[in-house]
C-alpha cells in the first residue's frame, strides 16, 4: 500500500460538506459523466454541457506510474468528480502487490470543507469488466442537523426507499446513486454510494 498526499481539483466539497445551498439536486445525483464543472451549481438530470478535456488528477498520474493503465481514464473521471474544489486533499492509495493493471485499485481521500468540515471519499476500480473498468465510489459526511433536516434540505429530489434495518434510511431517485442517512448524536452522517456505469 502506498500513501500519497496530493492536491485535487473537483467538487466533492459541494456534495459532502456544503451541498447545493440553493435549491437543486445534490452534486453527483447522476453519473460523473453528467457533471458540468463550468457551473457552480449541479446540473439537473438530462441537462447538456459543453464537453471539455478533463484535468488529469494527481491520483490518476500516480496510478499510471504504479502500472494501473487499463482503468486510468475511469480513475480520472471519478477522482475529478470527487475532487476537492481546488483545496488541499489527501489521498491514500491501495495498490496490489503484483499485476496492478489486472487487479483492483482503490483510493481513499480526505476532502477539507469550509469552516473546518471534512468529508471522506473512497473509490474502487476493477479492470476487465463488461464496461471496461468498473468503478464504485462513496462519500461520507457529518452534518450538524437531524437526518430529517438533511433529507429535506439537501436531498429533496430523492425518495425514501426503505430502512436498511433500524437506524439507517436509504434514499434514491432516478439515478443509480443511493444516499444512506444515519443518526450520529444530535447530527447525521450521510453516505452516498454509486456504481458508475
The pTM of the full predicted model, rounded to 2 decimals, is 0.70
Average pLDDT over residues 29-58: 44
Average pLDDT over residues 108-137: 88
pLDDT at 24 over 50: no
> Alpha-carbon distance 117 to 69, whole Å?
34
* Helices and strands of the chain, counted as H and E runs: 4, 9
pLDDT at 22 over 70: no
Q: What is the pLDDT of residue 114?
A: 61
Residue of higher predicted confidence among 140 and 8: 140
Q: What is the pLDDT of residue 118?
A: 84
pLDDT at 30 over 70: no
The sheet carrying 178-184 orders its strands as 2-7, 88-94, 105-112, 118-129, 132-143, 187-196, 178-184, 168-172, 159-163
pLDDT at 106 over 60: yes
Percentage of the residues of the chain whose pLDDT score is greater than 70: 68
> How many residues does this entry show for the chain?
197
pLDDT at 14 over 50: no
131-171 pLDDT tens trace? 899 999 999 999 999 999 999 999 999 999 988 999 999 99
74-105 pLDDT tens trace? 999 999 888 744 457 788 999 888 999 999 99
Percentage of the residues of the chain whose pLDDT score is greater than 90: 51
Sketch the domain layout of the chain as residue ranges: 2-196
Outline where 72-170 has alpha helix (H): 72-82, 147-154
Grid cell of 145 as nine digits: 442537523
Q: What is the pLDDT of residue 42?
A: 32
Amino acid at each position: 500500500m502506498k500513501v500519497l498526499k496530493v492536491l485535487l481539483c473537483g467538487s466533492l466539497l459541494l456534495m459532502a460538506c456544503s451541498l447545493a445551498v440553493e435549491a437543486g439536486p445534490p452534486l453527483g445525483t447522476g453519473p460523473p459523466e453528467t457533471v458540468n464543472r463550468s457551473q457552480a451549481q449541479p446540473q439537473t438530470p438530462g441537462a447538456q454541457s459543453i464537453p471539455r478535456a478533463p484535468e488529469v488528477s494527481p491520483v490518476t498520474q500516480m496510478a499510471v506510474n504504479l502500472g494501473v493503465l487499463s482503468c486510468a481514464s475511469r480513475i480520472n473521471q471519478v477522482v475529478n468528480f470527487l475532487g476537492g474544489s481546488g483545496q488541499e486533499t489527501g489521498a491514500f492509495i491501495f495498490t496490489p502487490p503484483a499485476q496492478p493493471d489486472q487487479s483492483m485499485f482503490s483510493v481513499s481521500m480526505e476532502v477539507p470543507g469550509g469552516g473546518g468540515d471534512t468529508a471522506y471519499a473512497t473509490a474502487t476500480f476493477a479492470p476487465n469488466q463488461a464496461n471496461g473498468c468498473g468503478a464504485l465510489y462513496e462519500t461520507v459526511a457529518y452534518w450538524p442537523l437531524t437526518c430529517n433536516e438533511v433529507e429535506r434540505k439537501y436531498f429533496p429530489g430523492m425518495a425514501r426507499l426503505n430502512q436498511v434495518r433500524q437506524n439507517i434510511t436509504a434514499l434514491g431517485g432516478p439515478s443509480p446513486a443511493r444516499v444512506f442517512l444515519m443518526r450520529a448524536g444530535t447530527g447525521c452522517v450521510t453516505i452516498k454510494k454509486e456504481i458508475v456505469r
